[in-house]
């Protein structure tokens, strides 16, 4: 078993995944703060369609990226960036193929494709972050993702894309494309496959996965399935964060009961994922918003680690 803390620290990109509402954005923000002070220029980037990063950092600056403090930058990617990436990566090539048998405007086509195929969203996000990580702009990139459904979609996209593309050469061999040769179509498909393959490889080699969960039945069940799914694609989570752990009871029987219930799930997580690095973050008496509270979360996430 490789030293987990070592492997994750050599990877420049850390991705936070997990069910909705468990504290991914909170942990991503806290991690970015930590890296910004210990490693240098850090970008915290959200690919959640309903992002909340700016909110927890209390940012009003809409620049992309916006400067949070020295060494820490924040960006939330949305539909317009996806559209730009579509244009850059696939747009004209794919349009060329489709427009040979469907009369449609480029804009309408791009709008349609980028809105109906959620997988494309994920593919572009991976690609965007891959390209960013290959430049020297940032020492660290902390990636806050959407809830689990999208994360799974993200992992599935390249394989899905490959599946969808398989019948394409057959279809084209049946279509009368006039003077067009079949070759360019096959080249495009090959290009797609290569891109998917590179993105998948980047996720495996260049990204450290942190899964956030809470000590509740549904969250733990969903965690099992997300890890199983990741395993099927050859991904390994580097770290598990158990958030909202009740640590201070203060004589309250209400909190005691809740904490006892959590304990059962927490013990199960330690047993089941004994090979994983597990970190607990306590439930704070207040929501986590603003730098000061994020720093507190970071203390728990990185306690006992060399800075
Ligand atoms: N350890 C914690 N203690 C108290 N509140 C927390 C804690 N972690 C997260 N929260 C709060 O829970 C809510 C959801 O957290 P968030 O990070 O946005 O979840 P996600 O990104 O997984 O949807 C936020 O209001 C956040 O302030
Ligand atoms: Mg979030």
DSSP-derived pairing of the beta strands 42-46 and 140-144 = parallel
CATH for 4-238 (2.60.40.1890, 3.40.50.720, 3.40.190.10, 3.40.50.300): 3.40.50.300
Question: Mutate which of 15, 23, 54, 215 to test ligand 1's pocket (most atoms within 8 Å of Cβ)?
Answer: 23
Residue 6: per-residue pLDDT:
44
Query: Which H/E stretch holds residue 124?
Result: helix 118-133
CA of 302 from ligand 2 middle (Å) equals 20
**Farthest CA pair distance, the chain:** 82
- What pTM was computed for the model? 0.84
The band of 5, judged by pLDDT with boundaries at 50, 70 and 90, is very low
Of the chain, the percentage scoring pLDDT greater than 90 comes to 46
Of the chain, the percentage scoring pLDDT greater than 70 comes to 74
Give tens-digit pLDDT for 24-46: 999 999 999 999 999 999 999 99
Give tens-digit pLDDT for 90-142: 777 767 766 766 777 878 877 776 666 655 666 777 888 888 999 999 999 99
Domain-wise residue ranges, the chain? 4-238
Which ligand 1 atom lies nearest to the CA of residue 244? Answer: 1
**Poorest-pLDDT segment among 28-37, 105-114, 206-215, 251-260:** 105-114
The band of 232, judged by pLDDT with boundaries at 50, 70 and 90, is confident
Cα separation of 204 and 201, whole Å?
5
Measured by CA distance, the residue closest to atom 9 of ligand 1 is 23
CA of 94 from ligand 2 middle (Å) equals 33
CA of 289 from ligand 1 middle (Å) equals 9
Q: Which pair of structure tokens corresponds to residue 221?
A: 């069940």
Q: Which of 122, 86, 93, 298 is nearest to 202 (CA)?
A: 122
């Amino acid at each position: 078993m490789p030293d987990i803390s070592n492997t994750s620290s050599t990877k420049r990109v850390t991705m936070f995944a997990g069910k909705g509402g468990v504290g991914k954005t909170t942990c991503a923000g806290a991690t970015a703060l930590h890296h910004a002070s210990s490693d240098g220029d850090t970008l915290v980037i959200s690919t959640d369609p309903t992002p909340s990063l700016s909110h927890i950092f209390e940012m009003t600056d809409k620049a992309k990226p916006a400067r949070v403090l020295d060494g820490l930058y924040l960006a939330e990617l949305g539909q317009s960036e996806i559209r730009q990436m579509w244009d850059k990566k696939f747009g004209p090539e794919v349009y060329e193929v489709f427009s040979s048998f469907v009369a449609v405007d480029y804009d309408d086509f791009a709008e349609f494709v980028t809105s109906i195929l959620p997988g494309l969203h994920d593919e572009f996000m991976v690609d965007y972050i891959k390209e960013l990580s290959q430049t020297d702009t940032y020492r660290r990139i902390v990636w806050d993702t959407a809830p689990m459904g999208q994360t799974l979609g993200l992992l599935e996209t390249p394989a899905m894309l490959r599946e969808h593309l398989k019948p394409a050469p057959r279809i084209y061999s049946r279509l009368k494309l006039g003077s067009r040769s079949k070759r360019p179509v096959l080249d495009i498909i090959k290009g797609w496959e290569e891109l998917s393959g590179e993105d998948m490889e980047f996720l495996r080699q260049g990204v450290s996965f942190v899964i956030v969960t809470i000590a509740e039945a549904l969250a733990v069940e969903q965690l099992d399935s997300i890890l199983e799914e990741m395993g099927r694609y050859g991904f390994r989570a580097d770290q598990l964060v158990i958030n909202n752990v009740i640590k201070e009871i203060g004589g309250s029987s209400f909190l005691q009961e809740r904490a006892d219930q959590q304990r059962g799930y927490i013990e199960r997580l330690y047993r089941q994922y004994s090979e994983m690095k597990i970190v607990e973050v306590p439930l704070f008496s207040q929501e986590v918003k603003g730098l000061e509270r994020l720093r507190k979360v970071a203390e728990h996430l990185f306690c006992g680690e060399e800075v």
